[in-house]
Amino acid sequence: MTDLYLNPQDERIEKDLAEYKRLNKNLAKKYKGKLSELSAEDFLASLQQVEQINVLGSKLAVYAYLNMVTQMKNQEAVVLYQHIDEKMTEYAKPAIFYSLELNRLSATKLRELYKNTNVAFYKPFIERVRRFKSHELPEEQEAIFLDKSVTSGSAWRRLYDEHSARLTYTVNGKTYNDAEISKLLQDKDPKIREKAGKELNRVSKENSALFTFIYNMIVKDKSISDNYRGYKNPVSARNLDNQVDDKALEALVSSVRGQYKNIADRFYKLKAKWLGVKKIQYWDRNAPLPFSDDKLYEWNESVNIVLEAYQQFSEELYQTALPFFNANHSWIDVPPRDGKRSGAFAMPLPAKFHPYLMLNFVGKQNDVLTLAHELGHGCHMRLAIKQGELNEDTPMILAEVASVFAEMITFQSLLSNLKDDKAKLCLIASKVNDMINTSLRQIAFHCFETRVHQERQNGELSSERIEDIWQEEMQTSLGNYVIVDENSRAIWPIVSHFFHSPFYVYAYSFADCLVNSLYQVYKDGKISDFSSKYLQMLSQTGVKRYDSLLKPFGLDATDSGFWNKGLSLISDYIDELEKLDKKLTKAGKIS
């Protein structure tokens, strides 16, 4: 990360921190209490200073974060992160006035300021800050809410985190943490999966009194705040944040629910057959197929597969991706190491820097798709930042478009290179598994939390009641070939989003179905110049709403036909699986 700082001891870190402090202080000194009286030129200067603060802040924060997550056991790295995080929070305080005063500007004043084209450039940023204006409370009340949050909502979330982290699981006499036990569900031995599945449920059940209490408090805390702020229903604040209108969400939920049977029943019936049972257990939904071959891919081979898929789709996308593999500077942390955080992500940076990717690549088929996914994020970041440092803030529902789309084109190219039917079946089956987990399962989660938040308005819910709702929603979404019973009905607290970010989960499904619909349009081939329109769309995800971004593709998200188009992609893959299964069974290659 030498483009940011030479090493954690680099003197420029402290220098930049001091500069960050000075800029924030200076912003308050120059503009606090005066924003509504500034000329367009001075207003522009204030915006530019906010931008400068942001660029410097993200350089510092990203360096400290990446330096830590790649070596969590290095105490110095953890200390550096905490140091920078604490100092930045403290130094940023004087600048809080800025968004408050931005909110208080009258519409007339803003119209006047926008006449200056340089100010108008910042419109997406200004509008984003002002989006929550009508739900803001008087300053004194906001201050009380902020102060009290430490002992209310955030306190309950912290208790949830700390308690969850302390939980241990025992299988065959060995002790596991939550990440490790989840891995056992991927074991090829069904007996180990069963023990791990039951153990997950047992531990949740044992702790259900505490989790139930915490969840009741978090839901109530949110409803108190929603009431004061005048949000119509529990999902409203999240919708405003995502810039999703209630109608589009309703269309998504009802389309997905309408497809539960067609998709889940057909897929899990096949999966049960492959696993040699009549119905599969809840924990076996993502189990590996007994006849999968587990071929490993070399890193260079994987890079070539992904880049070729990108190039086939668009030369421009390929050119955007190439610098990530620059021989002189590595932008991707590839293999797993002791102390490196698990998972994968892409890290955005200001335009004058280059985004970083973090992977834990071991060469599995899924790792190739993860590279395609994170590289998709990286390309998206490079395209979107051109709209301006402050303007770029892609909402969650659009943040996954480039990554999921990139994964899809790479999946197709992997698939077309396979000759063997059994390998094809395994690849498609794992893709369908993922698609169900994202498109269907997250909506089942959404329906669960919607019901809990609604019922909470009449008083606290018991553990039994929450488990009832969970079991009903899981069973409805998973259909007749998956068993949801006493051995899995208590595990709802595992979904940390319920505690951390209420109503966050639907965005996963929204994003996935949206990309699937877009991909169907691409496959249909009726939109001329699809790839350049697509890249144009990616460059504007921070400044335009999803509905206007979808227009060039003839798509409308409030129409259930739009969502069904995306869902039909999953259904098409299941058709393919049914055909392959018949063929292979007839040939005696699988039973």
Minimum CB separation of residue 398 from Zn ion in Å reads: 12
* Measured distance CA(472)–CA(476) in Å, rounded: 6
Minimum CB separation of residue 62 from Zn ion in Å reads: 17
Closer to Zn ion by Cβ: residue 378 or 493: 378
* Measured distance CA(367)–CA(307) in Å, rounded: 14
In the block, residue with structure tokens 């006849």? 291
Task: Report the Cα 429 to chain-centroid distance in Å.
Answer: 23
Binding mask 331-360 for Zn ion (x = CB under 5 A): ------------------------------
Minimum CB separation of residue 264 from Zn ion in Å reads: 24
Minimum CB separation of residue 589 from Zn ion in Å reads: 35
The residues, ordered by sequence, that sit 6+ positions from 232 with a Cβ below 8 Å of its Cβ are none
Closer to Zn ion by Cβ: residue 24 or 394: 394
346 burial (CB, 10 Å; 0-12 / 13-18 / 19+) is: buried
Looking at the chain, how many residues does it have?
A: 591
| 524-555 b/e (C-beta count within 10 Å ≥ 16 → b) | eeebeebeeebbebbbbbbbbebeebbeebeb
Query: CA gyration radius for the chain?
Result: 25
Minimum CB separation of residue 402 from Zn ion in Å reads: 9
Minimum CB separation of residue 394 from Zn ion in Å reads: 11
In the block, residue with structure tokens 């200390």? 79
Closer to Zn ion by Cβ: residue 235 or 402: 402
Nearest to Zn ion by Cβ — which residue?
Answer: 403
Closer to Zn ion by Cβ: residue 267 or 405: 405
Q: How many residues bind Zn ion (CB under 5 A)?
A: 1
Minimum CB separation of residue 408 from Zn ion in Å reads: 13
Nearest C-alpha neighbor of 541 from the set 404, 394, 350: 394
486 burial (CB, 10 Å; 0-12 / 13-18 / 19+) is: exposed
Minimum CB separation of residue 504 from Zn ion in Å reads: 14
CB 535 within 8 A of CB 315: no
Minimum CB separation of residue 346 from Zn ion in Å reads: 7
Task: Report the Cα 586 to chain-centroid distance in Å.
Answer: 41
Q: Which positions from 473 through 492 interact with Zn ion, judged by CB under 5 A?
A: none
Closer to Zn ion by Cβ: residue 199 or 374: 374
CB 379 within 8 A of CB 537: no
* Measured distance CA(149)–CA(139) in Å, rounded: 15
Closer to Zn ion by Cβ: residue 403 or 487: 403
Q: Which positions from 398 through 437 interact with Zn ion, judged by CB under 5 A?
A: 403
CB 199 within 8 A of CB 181: yes
Closer to Zn ion by Cβ: residue 56 or 346: 346
Closer to Zn ion by Cβ: residue 370 or 391: 370
Closer to Zn ion by Cβ: residue 400 or 467: 400
At how many degrees (to 10) do helices 401-417 and 299-313 cross?
A: 110
Minimum CB separation of residue 244 from Zn ion in Å reads: 18
What are the φ/ψ torsions at residue 308 (nearest 5 degrees)?
Answer: -60, -40
Q: Applying CB under 5 A, does 239 fall inside the site for Zn ion?
A: no
Beta strands 174-176 and 169-171, pairing class = antiparallel
Closer to Zn ion by Cβ: residue 252 or 402: 402
Tally DSSP H helices, then E strands, for the chain. 28, 7
CB 577 within 8 A of CB 267: yes
Q: Which positions touch Zn ion (CB under 5 A)? A: 403
